[in-house]
Every structure is written in structure tokens, then in C-alpha cells.
Amino acid sequence: MVNAINDMAVLQKMTSFDERNVSNPMFKVFRQYMSMELEMMFVRAVRTANWQLHLQALELFSKYFFAHDRLNYARMIPVYLADMKALPQSDPDIYIELVDENWIVNKNLQVPFYGIGADNGLEHVNQSMKVSGGLIGITQNTSARAKFFLIAPELSRLAEQAKKMAGISVRVTERHHNLTNAVLSREERKICKLFTTIASFTNPFTQSGDELFNLVTKVVVPDYVKRDLCAQRTEGEKLLDTFVKERIQVASIKLWSVIKKRKLLTWKSTGKRTKVKVNDTIVELQEDRSLFARMMIVCHTRREINIAEAVGEYEFTVVPRVLFAADGTMLHCLQKSALMSLIEKEAPVTVGNSETTTPVARKKVDIVDGMVEVQSLSKPNTVKTCADLAQHFTDIVFNKHLDCDELHLVFDRYDVPLSLKVATRVRRQGLEQPVSYRISESIHIAKVPMRHLLSHNKTKMELTKYLASKSILRAEQRHINLVVAWSSDCQATQKDVSHLQSSNEEADTKLILHAFEVATNGATEINVFSPDTDVFVLLLRRYPELCRDVHFVTGTGERRRRIKLQPIA
């Protein structure tokens, strides 16, 4: 095996593989996890009685004891390693015994890889005594417990002799128990199951990008957790080096002094919820008393500024009073939805239809706010994955708009980092931290409420792109004339709509753009579906540029209404 690995240059290829992916957090964390599987090396050292390998495995373990706050191991293992490495000088006879494999217990010298630790060997000796009632009643009695453990080896020897005399002695095997057909078959099944599971979810070594996410749930780990997960090895090495230098080599700090926990964040940290109490206090901004003195200094130093014009144009407040209160908080419009009802009431009442219209070919177009449809979805039990969600979404949208000749599905943009819309979304979330999910066909969302799935902008960005592609695919299969706009892109099933690509963030203005487009292309009836008052006002503003028959459809259930714009505009 060793010769085969050397001939195939496996180690060199693995090193090159690691170097190519050093900046990939997904690769880095799981490759680091593979290197943490040092238990196999430690077990091999005991099974083969390899003293040097035993010390090497413990030394590799030590940094992870510090990184994960296993303080008892972190404190004692470095001391143990220092003592053992000093044995050739301090006690060469004991060192020779350890190198000669006299530090483990071997129950069967005829079978390789059969050594066990001394503590485990004692458990085997005491096994014959651990029968029903064997230790009951003496564990709390110090004297009885001491007598039992002193005579346990002799009792075990006598029990073994009695078994031999009775002909029921344990048979000495000639083959390692882990090499039996049953064990090998079970391990092969587990390996196949693990491989299938990883392939069905996500292979961490084939992912690109700078995101770190859960393999099963696809929840994206926050950046501060990602930093700690990627830094486990380096942080552990720093803490180990500091401990050895300060408490063993220099001895500037006592060995038993308190060790401060590092508290590195792990995968479990993303699931914790922290409640923070915030006092609803208002802090007023203090006006600057030297305002006029500063203005005079500006007059003398910046002659190009027209101070009279500046004073007459701008208010003498810390913040504009039109948008902000005196304490600096923004004045939010809380009654915007009432505007629509007021405008409807002011519309003139028309009796009959005095206008004569020339019959034209009917072309009905429905323009829908896509994210509103997603947010109003009820997730039945049949929706298990994102693929099921896309199927459910397209079924509802297409069945709702069967009678239209052309359907436009318009989504918001969620890739704009700094905007008022993002600030509004953050304010609505309050103290609840949004969770980002990685959107893919296989992600299981059966137990994820839609409110949580749509809580993070990054998830909504990926979800709208995913739903747009699935809507286009299903529309082509059902021969539906569909136009979908998401992010800055726009795509249709039966024509080129590259000119409708827009950098606008909100769907409100995109809906108007699509309404103007279909009116230009001969639409005779336009229905815009949205709950937003802003869209209603914008439609009224652009109505003269649209066709005569334009309706604004809003509300849900019994409150759903269809407002005709022609009498109002």
C-alpha cells in the first residue's frame, strides 16, 4: 500500500489540490475536518504499539483541544508530551521499554493490530466480574471497593481457569475480528450509504465561491462564523504555542492558572437565538451653539460660497424637518394605503358609454408582481424541496391567469447592497436575525416556514432567479406566452425582450415599464396585479401613455377589487 501511494504520487497530488483551493472556505473547512480525524492515527499507534506515532498523534491533537476549549486535555497533554520527550535523558530504561512495545496489552500475539491500552486491558480483566450484581452495593463503600479492585485480576484468572476446566473457554481467534465477512459487508454498506448521501446533497469539494453553507439545509453561514470555522487550526496552534512557552518553557505563568476559553463559533452557533432587551429611549441631537460663528468663518475663508443664498435655501436644523423628526428619527408614512381609497372616491361617476369604439382584435395582458405571489403562497405538505415549490408556484400563477394572451411576471432586485429598500427591510425584521439558504433542486424546505425562507435578501435573490428559470421552462412546455423579469435580466418564451432589462431595484417601476411596453405593442386590455399604492399612483401618472382599458387589481380574498383607471385618470 505504501509503495502504491509513493508510485502514484498521491501525497504530492493532495498537496497541489489543497494549494489550488486554499481560498475556498467550503473546501478549507471540510479538508480541515478530514485532517482532524486523527483518532485513526491514535488508534493505529496503540494497535501497533508504535510509541513515536502515539506521541505524534497526541501532538497533532493538542491544537484542537485549545481551539475547542477542552481545557483539561489542553492543560495536561502538553505537559505529558514534554515529559515523554525528555525520557531518553531523564529515564532511558523506561524509554527503551516503551520503544520495545511494552506500553500496551496484547491479548493475541498471533494476530497483528491487536494491541489495546492499559486502561482498556484492565476493563477486559474486570469483564468477568461485571455480571448482574457484580458491583452492586460496594461502589459507595471505600474499603469494599478497594478490596474488589485489588483481587479482581486474581478473580479473573480463577474464572478463566474454571471456564477451561468446564470446556467453555474463549476460543483464541486466528484472524482479526474486524476482518470477518460480516464486519466488512457492514462497513461497505456504510461507505456506500455515506457516498450516496453526500452525492444527493452537496459535495463540499466541488463547490466554488466564497460562501460556506450547511450541506443538508443549505443555510449559508454568517461571515463571523465562517471566519472562526476556517481559523480552527491556526487559532489552536497559536494558543498551544503560547501555552507551551508561558507555562512550560519560561514558566512565567503557573500551570494551574486559569485558561481563558477561546469560544470559537461553530456550526451550532448559527442555530442559537439571542434575546436582547432594548430600552425605547429617544436621544435628541444637541444643536451646535456656535453655528453662526462657524458660518462667519466660512464667509471669510470660502469667498466662493454665497452665504445669503445658502441661509435662505437650507433649514437651520441638524436634519431636514420634512423627512425627519427633531430627535433624528425618520418620519414614516403610515397611512399610504388610504390614498387609494380617497382617489377612488374622488373619481367622477359615469353613466353609460357615450363613446363609440372601433372593434379591434383583443389582446389581454396581465402584469404580476412576482414576489407578492411568492409571499402569498400556502406551502402544502406536498412541497418538500425547492423543485416542489417551483412546481406549486407555477401551477398557481398559470392557472390564475389562463384567460390572458400574455403574462408578465416581474420580480424585485435583491442585489443592491445599499439602498433605502434594504434599510426598510432591516427595520421590519427587528431583532430577528435573517437566515440565508442556498437555493438548489434538492434543498429540503418542508419544515422551513416561508417567512424564514424569505427573510434574507441573498436567499430571495437566488430564489427569484430559480423561480424565473423554472417558470420559463414550464411556460414553454405549456405553450404560454410568458415574460419574466428578475434582477437586471428579462427573458420571454416567444420573443426577444432584452430591451426590457432594467437596473431598477423595485418591481413597482418595472411594472410600469412592462405596461408601457405592452401598450406600445398593441395591448387592448392591461391588468396590473399588485398590493402597492405606489404602483397605483404611478399607473395613474402614466395612464395617458397606455391603452384605454387599464385595470389595477389589488387586495386578497373578499377584499380583492379591480379598479378601472379610465374614470379616475
Residue 185 has pLDDT above 70, yes or no: yes
Residue range 180-192: average pLDDT? Answer: 92
Residue range 364-387: average pLDDT? Answer: 91
> End of a domain among 120, 146, 168?
168
Residue 321 has pLDDT above 60, yes or no: no
- Taking a C-beta distance cutoff of 8 angstroms, is the pair 456, 464 a contact? no
Q: What nine digits make up the cell of 5?
A: 501511494
**pLDDT at residue 70, as a whole number:** 93
Query: Is residue 432 included in any domain, yes or no?
Result: yes
**pLDDT at residue 458, as a whole number:** 87
Q: What nine digits make up the cell of 182?
A: 460480516
529 Cβ neighbours under 8 A, 6+ residues apart: 366, 367, 368, 369, 372, 553, 554
3 secondary structure, DSSP code = H
Alpha helices by DSSP H, 302-419? 307-313, 338-346, 370-375, 386-400
> End of a domain among 168, 189, 221?
168
**pLDDT at residue 135, as a whole number:** 61
Query: Is residue 229 included in any domain, yes or no?
Result: no
Residue 533 has pLDDT above 70, yes or no: yes
**476 band by pLDDT with thresholds 50, 70 and 90:** very high
* 4 backbone dihedrals φ, ψ, rounded to 5°: -65, -40
Q: What domain range includes position 114?
A: 2-168
Residue 134 has pLDDT above 60, yes or no: no
Which pTM does this prediction carry?
Answer: 0.61
Residue 247 vs residue 298, higher pLDDT: 247
**pLDDT at residue 291, as a whole number:** 58
498 Cβ neighbours under 8 A, 6+ residues apart: 490
Query: Is residue 394 included in any domain, yes or no?
Result: yes
**pLDDT at residue 209, as a whole number:** 83
Query: Is residue 174 included in any domain, yes or no?
Result: no
**pLDDT at residue 422, as a whole number:** 67
29 Cβ neighbours under 8 A, 6+ residues apart: 204, 212, 229, 230
Residue range 284-306: average pLDDT? Answer: 62
> End of a domain among 110, 138, 168?
168
Residue 106 has pLDDT above 80, yes or no: yes
**pLDDT at residue 41, as a whole number:** 87
Query: Is residue 96 included in any domain, yes or no?
Result: yes
Distances (CA, A) of 63 to 109, 232, 234, 235, 334: 35, 9, 8, 8, 56
**pLDDT at residue 285, as a whole number:** 39
* pLDDT per residue as tens digits for the range 395-433: 999 999 999 999 999 999 988 876 766 666 666 666 667
Residue 261 has pLDDT above 50, yes or no: yes
Number of domains in the chain: 2
CATH number at residue 510: 3.40.50.1010
Most confidently predicted of 271-285, 371-385, 408-422:
371-385
* pLDDT per residue as tens digits for the range 49-78: 999 999 999 998 899 999 999 999 999 999
Query: Is residue 424 included in any domain, yes or no?
Result: yes
Query: Is residue 257 included in any domain, yes or no?
Result: no
Residues of the chain above pLDDT 90, percent: 39
Residue range 190-206: average pLDDT? Answer: 85
**pLDDT at residue 339, as a whole number:** 78
Residue range 327-351: average pLDDT? Answer: 69
Q: Which of 202-211, 423-432, 505-514 has the lowest mean pLDDT?
A: 423-432
Measured CA to CA, the distance from residue 491 to residue 483 in angstroms comes to 6
Compute the radius of gyration of the chain from its Cα atoms. 37
Measured CA to CA, the distance from residue 205 to residue 215 in angstroms comes to 11
Residue 516 has pLDDT above 90, yes or no: yes
Angle at 546 between CA 543 and CA 549, to 5 degrees: 90
Q: What nine digits make up the cell of 54?
A: 502515539
Query: Is residue 302 included in any domain, yes or no?
Result: no
Q: Which residue has the cell 520527550?
A: 85
**137 band by pLDDT with thresholds 50, 70 and 90:** low
Residue range 341-365: average pLDDT? Answer: 68
Distances (CA, A) of 328 to 287, 332, 427: 12, 12, 16
Q: Determine how many CB atoms are found less than 10 A away from the CB of residue 556.
A: 9
**pLDDT at residue 284, as a whole number:** 42
Q: Among candidates 240, 239, 246, 238, which has minimal Cα distance to 78?
A: 240
- Kindly compute the dihedral angle of the four CA atoms of residues 304, 307, 312, 316, in this order, to the nearest 10 degrees: 120
Q: Among candidates 88, 124, 120, 83, which has minimal Cα distance to 104?
A: 120
Residue 126 vs residue 288, higher pLDDT: 126
**350 band by pLDDT with thresholds 50, 70 and 90:** low
Residue range 18-46: average pLDDT? Answer: 84
Residues making up the chain, counted from first to last: 569
**287 band by pLDDT with thresholds 50, 70 and 90:** very low
